[in-house]
Structure 1
Amino acid sequence: MFHTFCTSALFWQLLISCRYNTSNQCLILPWAMFAGIFLSSTISVIVQCFYAYRVWIISDKNRKLTAFVLVTALGQYGLGIATMVTTARSKSAAVFFTCPFEISYAVASAICDVVISGSCLFYLRPGRTGVKRPSNHMQHLVVVSLQMGVFIFLVAIVWLLLYFVQDARYWTGFSSAILCKSNVNSMLAV
Structure 2
Amino acid sequence: MPWDLSVTLATTSLTAFFVQCFYAHRVWIIGERNKLLTGAVLIAALVQLVFGFALLEATRHTGSMATLFNSPYAPVNAMGSAICDTIITASVFLYLRRSQFRILRKENYIHKLNLVFVQMGLITCSTALATAVLYYSDQLTGQYLTVAPAFILSKAYSNSMLAVLNARKLVCCDHQRHASLELPTLSSIH
User: In the alignment, what sits opposite 2:102?
Assistant: 130
Match for residue 93 of structure 1?
Answer: 65
What is the one-letter code of the residue matched to 1:107? M
Equivalent residues, number: 162
Report 1:26-175 matches (<5 A): 29-126=1-98, 130-133=102-105, 135-165=107-137, 166-167=139-140, 170-175=144-149
Give me the TM-score of the superposition, normalised by structure 1: 0.80
1:125-173 C-alpha deviation (Å, 9 max, x unpaired): 1566533447532111100100111111111121112112252663111
Deviations 1:51-76 (A, max 9, x none): 00000001111111111101110110
Q: Deviations over 1:6-45 (max 9, x none)?
A: xxxxxxxxxxxxxxxxxxxxxxx11111111100000000
Aligned-partner Cα distance in 2 for 1:54–1:102:
27
Residue 178 of structure 1 is matched in structure 2 by 152
- Secondary structure of the 1:92 match is coil
The CA distance in 1 between the partners of 2:63 and 2:71, in whole Å, is 13
- Whether the 8 Å CA contact 1:156–1:179 is kept in 2: the answer is yes
Q: Tell me the TM-score normalised to structure 2 length.
A: 0.80
8 Å contact kept, 1:117–1:145: yes
Report sequence identity in percent.
Answer: 38
Query: Which ranges in structure 1 are unaligned for 5 or more consecutive residues?
Result: 1-28
The separation in 2 between residues aligned to 1:113 and 1:143, in whole angstroms, is: 15
Between the aligned partners of 1:144 and 1:47, the Cα distance in structure 2 is: 15
